[in-house]
Amino acid sequence: MAETDLSSTTVFEERMQRRPLVLNNRSMSWISDLIAGIPEAKTPLWWWITTGITASIAGFGVFCILYLLFTGVGVWGNNIPVAWAWGITNFVFWIGIGHAGTLISAILFLTRQKWRTSINRASEAMTLFAVICAGIFPAIHVGRIWMAWFLAPVPNPNWIWPNFRSPLLWDVFAVSTYFTVSVLFWFLGLVPDLATMRDRAKSTAARYIYGVLALGWRGGNRQWLHYELAYLVLAGISTPLVLSVHSTVSFDFATSILPGWHTTIFPPYFVAGAIFGGFAMVLTLMIPSRSIFKLHDVFTMDHIDVMCKILLLTGSIVGYAYSMEFFVAYYGANPFERFAFINRYFGPYWWASWTMFTCNVIIPQLMWVRAFRRNLCVVFFVAMCANAGMWFERFVIFVISLHRDFLPSSWRMFYPTWVDVFTFAGTFGIFLTLFLLFVRFLPMVAMSEVKGVLPEADPHFPGASSNEGLVQEGIATHEPA
Amino acid sequence: MSPPERRRPFGIIAEFPSVSALYRAAEEVRDQGFKFWDVHSPFPIHGMNKAMGLGRSALGYIIFVGGLTGFLTAILLEYIPSSFLYPLIVHGKPVNFFTVPPFFPIMFELTILFSAFTAFFGVFVMNRLPRFHHPLFNHEPFRRVTNDAFFIVIDSTDPRFQKLTPRTCWRKPEAGK
């Protein structure tokens, strides 16, 4: 008995030991060479091919948008009663994707999850590009694009001000603040790495461009002092911000009286779904990047493992929300509410709801198994299902709730047109093109942060005690040598 | 390019092999009472502020003021039009100052927005950046500071600078010598 206890304790301790965040005892210069080497290398052929494809899709998306603007929203499939269809579905889908980036950069920073350093840069970039894609839809769905400025908090020509108590105006503020703060946070994190790019640059043009972007960063501790505080504060304010953004998006629906929308569970449910969908998108982008750029030692299987656990957790929260909505519809005894939910799962759009439920709730349960969390094919499959499932979730909420309203004579099915489809595909083109440009020109892993979590970055690291003394000493002069 | 005798010294710069060596040297420089000096590293080092004898950054207070400005901006932006310029009666609800909840989201967002701008620009103002030319950039080994090298720089404006002899400021004088 005692022996079994002992051996199980040893296994337990082995399992519970803190795993290294960077494998194979890589040095700091190795990290710089690996990460900075990606933009420094000659542009690979696959990059031209992939970017050519994604940019063509983006270009066709832009054509669809122009066609919409010059013709009118009639080219989309929405009509009364489904006045909000793919446009708003895509908006909420993309804005949700962004949330994972901010969660990784802000919330995991505050909770001292050091593994975030390997993925925070790429996830934050993903956030920005997703919010750009999201921002397209509110602007173009208004029909009269020249009146999109009515969204701004200024009086219109009749001196009528917007209603500051409307969730739609809250949304304008929330999304624009979110984008701005994400850009600032991302760029602040990028500055030390841009300085690395500047100091390594071979060509004058690269040194000049990265030098200007790095703003003359010198890595002095008196600089890091303010930098770290600002980073902490930005993480601290981004945390409530990211929770508020999708809550505010959900208010657009929750404050209405439509059955299926009018629920108090919406804000937390939307936020959990956003993080779920966002982590799926991070995995979708990072698993191929990891193989292409040989990031295996920096972005390890342990990273993928914990991300899968977050996927499992948030997927289950979403599953709880779906079930609770259904239960409350039954328990609330409101016939309209009951009808909306029976119609959701058993009406003409049953396939959308069951796709949503399968992809978001059932398939992520695979992640309970450690072997699946460490199998890239399974992880990628689950992530792709989650991407699809989260789009269907928004489709289910918006379109199914609208298509059978209070008056049966106005019930109508929604069918997307080719413009709907290609506009949505076009945003994927825009998103992927921007991401490809990002990996081509900027360091996709936060080098300074990854170096900071290496064991030798600790001033009390025992292995370095023999490393006494001085490497070299000299006089720096005002005039160049 | 200027001849060596014409170059004015900016400071003494020393490179250290590891974070722990840098940390100990920083403590020593601090204890010897230098004022104008800095430690340069590729990443922020935990505890270095203490080793250098630096206090907390004052940036936090500035950001608070920035956030407060955003909050007040939102109050004015919302209540002046909604209560005075164009009171919009929706659902028959009052539009006065005491109906805070529906006005709250925008106050929250603008507080965040202004704090973020203050934090972002605050870092660069406090650090006197952007500054594209700096004497340290003339020092060839310093280019590795953003890669894997660790430096201490003692500024020539430091009152103790003239008394410096090489290799004394980085560690305690050994006993018996």
Q: Which helix (H) or strand (E) holds B155?
A: strand B150-155
- Interchain CB contacts (distance < 8 Å): A and B: 301
Among the partner residues B120, B129, B167, nearest to A230 by beta-carbon distance: B120
Is the residue at A7 inside a domain? no
Q: Which residues pair with B40 in a beta bridge?
A: A220, B151
Domain count, chain A: 1
Q: How far is B134 from chain A (nearest CA, A)?
A: 8
Q: Is the peptide bond before A138 cis (omega within 30 degrees of 0)?
A: no
Chosen from B89, B112, B158 to mutate, greatest number of chain A CBs within 10 A: B112
| B56 Cβ under 8 Å from any chain A Cβ | yes
pLDDT in tens, A2-19: 445 555 666 666 667 777
Domain membership of residue A244 as a residue range: 28-448+462-473
Confirm if B103 and B78 have CB atoms less than 8 A apart: yes
pLDDT at residue A10, as a whole number: 66
B116 touches chain A (CB under 8 A): yes
A376-388 exposure pattern, b = at least 16 Cβ within 10 A, e = fewer: eebbbebbbbbbb
Contact check, Cβ <8 Å, A233/B39: no
CA dist., res. A142 & res. A201, Å (int): 46
Q: Using DSSP, state whether A54 is helix, strand or coil.
A: helix
Q: Is residue A385 part of a domain?
A: yes
The single-letter code of the amino acid at A343 is N
What pLDDT score was predicted for residue A71?
Answer: 92
A40 vs chain B: nearest CA distance in angstroms? 15
For residue A102, list chain B residues with Cβ-Cβ distance below 8 A.
Answer: none
Within 8 A by CB and 6+ apart from A449, the residues are A117, A120, A189, B43
CB contact under 8 Å between A475 and B11, yes or no, is yes
Instruction: Confirm if A238 and A177 have CB atoms less than 8 A apart.
Output: no
Name the residue of chain B whose CA is nearest to A179's CA.
B113
Residue A224, domain member (yes or no): yes
- A196·B86 Cβ contact <8 A: no
Q: How confident is the model at residue B169, as a pLDDT?
A: 64
A425 in a structural domain? yes
Number of Cβ atoms within 10 Å of the Cβ of B109: 26
Residue A120, classed as helix, strand or coil, is helix
Give the distance, in angstroms, between the CA of residue A138 and the centroid of all CA atoms in the same chain. 19
| Cα distances (Å, whole numbers) of residue B73 to A149, A167, A216, A436 | 20, 19, 33, 39
The tokens of A190 are what?
A: 């990028």
With a CB cutoff of 8 Å and minimum separation 6, the contacts of B2 are A479, A480
Question: Which residue is closest to B96 within chain A, CA to CA?
Answer: A165
Phi, psi of A265 (to 5 degrees): -75, -10
Closest-CA distance of chain A to residue B1, Å: 6
What residues have CB less than 8 Å from A206, skipping those under 6 apart? A40, A197
Q: Which tokens in the block code for residue B148?
A: 């894997």
Considering only CA atoms, which of A397, A251, A261, A269 is closest in space to residue A321?
Answer: A269
Distance from CA of A251 to the nearest CA of B (A): 11
Residue A77 lies in a domain: yes
Chain A residues closer than 8 Å to B75 by CB:
none
Does the residue A23 lie in any domain?
no
Distance from CA of B144 to the nearest CA of A (A): 7
* Chain A residues lying within 8 Å of B105, measured CB to CB: 170, 173-174, 244, 248, 251
A57: closest CA among A436, A414, A440? A436
**pTM assigned to the model:** 0.92
Q: Is the dihedral of CA A444, A447, A449, A453 positive or negative?
A: positive
ipTM of the complex: 0.91
Of B20, B86, B133, the CB nearest to A464: B20
A239, HSE (Cβ side, Cα atoms, 13 Å): 11
Residue B42: its chain A contacts at CB < 8 A? 28, 192, 196, 219, 447-448, 451
Peptide bond into A416 cis (omega under 30): no
Nearest C-alpha neighbor of A401 from the set A252, A256, A261, A251:
A261
* Vertex A112: Cα angle to A106 and A116 (nearest 5): 60
Largest CA distance in chain A: 87
Contact A230 B102 (CB under 8 A): no
- The DSSP symbol for A477 reads E
Q: Is residue A478 part of a domain?
A: no
Q: Residue A185 has which token pair?
A: 């946070």
Does any CB of chain A come closer than 8 Å to the CB of residue B110? yes
Please report which residue ranges of chain B form alpha helices under DSSP H.
Answer: 19-31, 48-52, 59-79, 104-126
The residues of chain A scoring below 70 in pLDDT are 1-15, 463-468
Q: Tell whether B21 is within 8 A of chain A (Cβ).
A: yes
Q: What is the reported pLDDT for A1? A: 43
Contacts of A401 (CB under 8 A, 6+ apart): A258, A259, A260, A261, A340, A344
Closest partner residue to A181 (CB to CB) among B44, B106, B113 is B113
Residues of chain A with C-beta less than 8 angstroms from the C-beta of B11:
475-476
Give pLDDT tens digits along chain B (177 positions): 567 667 788 888 889 888 888 888 898 888 888 888 899 999 999 989 898 988 888 999 999 999 999 999 999 999 999 888 888 888 888 888 788 888 999 999 999 999 999 999 999 999 998 888 888 888 888 889 999 899 999 888 887 776 665 556 666 555 433
A325 found inside a domain: yes
Across the interface, whether the CB atoms of B142 and A476 are under 8 A apart is answered yes
Instruction: Name which of A458, A477, A466, A443 is nearest A206 in CA terms.
Output: A443
The Cα-based distances of B8 to A147, A218, A385, B12, B165 in angstroms read 61, 20, 64, 12, 18
Q: Other CB atoms closer than 10 Å to residue A372's CB: what's the count?
A: 16
Distance of residue B72 Cα from the nearest chain A Cα, in angstroms: 15
Q: One-letter amino acid identity for A240?
A: P
Alpha helices in A332-471 (DSSP H): 335-346, 350-357, 370-373, 376-395, 401-403, 418-441, 447-452
- B57 in contact with A at a CB cutoff of 8 Å? yes
Query: Starting at the edge strand that comes first in sequence, how are the strands of the sheet with A472-477 ordered?
Result: A472-477, B9-16, B150-155, B37-40
Of the partner residues A173, A212, A230, the one whose CB lies closest to the CB of residue B119: A230
